[in-house]
Amino acid sequence: MTRWKQDWQRWRRSYWYKSKRQRPGHVTSMIWPPYWKTEGYGVAFPFEEYLKLAEVMKVMKGRMILTINDHPDMEKVFADFRIERVKINYTVGGADRGKNSSEMIVMNW
């Protein structure tokens, strides 16, 4: 397994190169884009980027797992994929300030 952290546009360019050299079934990617309609990431990630992610997931040869906050807009963007929801407790700032929420795990297979 290879793990690296980079912006998703750079990953997308490198993925196309790597997928030509590897058998499609042997490439699984996991991506954690910024949560939609949340603050604090310090990086611009407009709605159009989520649409591009969904398009990549549709056409890529390998598998992708994507995690995102459970938001109606994101449910629409990734409606064509298998989605599992999990309950989570955000504890940013300490466990005593936790907030119950849910997250979508989106898979393209």
pTM for this model (two decimals) = 0.75
The better pLDDT of the pair 92, 76 is held by: 76
Q: Which band of pLDDT confidence, cut at 50, 70 and 90, is reported for residue 12?
A: low
Residue 64 counted as domain residue: yes
pLDDT at 77: 98
pLDDT in tens, 43-76: 778 999 999 999 988 888 778 899 999 999 999 9
Measure CA of the first residue to CA of the last residue in the chain; give whole Å.
19
Residue 42 counted as domain residue: yes
Report the domain count for the chain: 1
What distance in Å separates the CA atoms of residue 109 and residue 100, rounded to the nearest whole number? 28
Least confident of 41-45, 58-62, 75-79, 91-95: 91-95
pLDDT at 1: 46
- For residue 88, the domain's CATH number is 3.40.50.150
Per the CB < 8 A criterion, the answer to whether 24 and 6 are in contact is: no
Residue 73 counted as domain residue: yes
Per the CB < 8 A criterion, the answer to whether 68 and 74 are in contact is: yes
Per the CB < 8 A criterion, the answer to whether 109 and 65 are in contact is: no
What distance in Å separates the CA atoms of residue 60 and residue 101, rounded to the nearest whole number? 30
| Structural domain containing residue 100 | 24-107
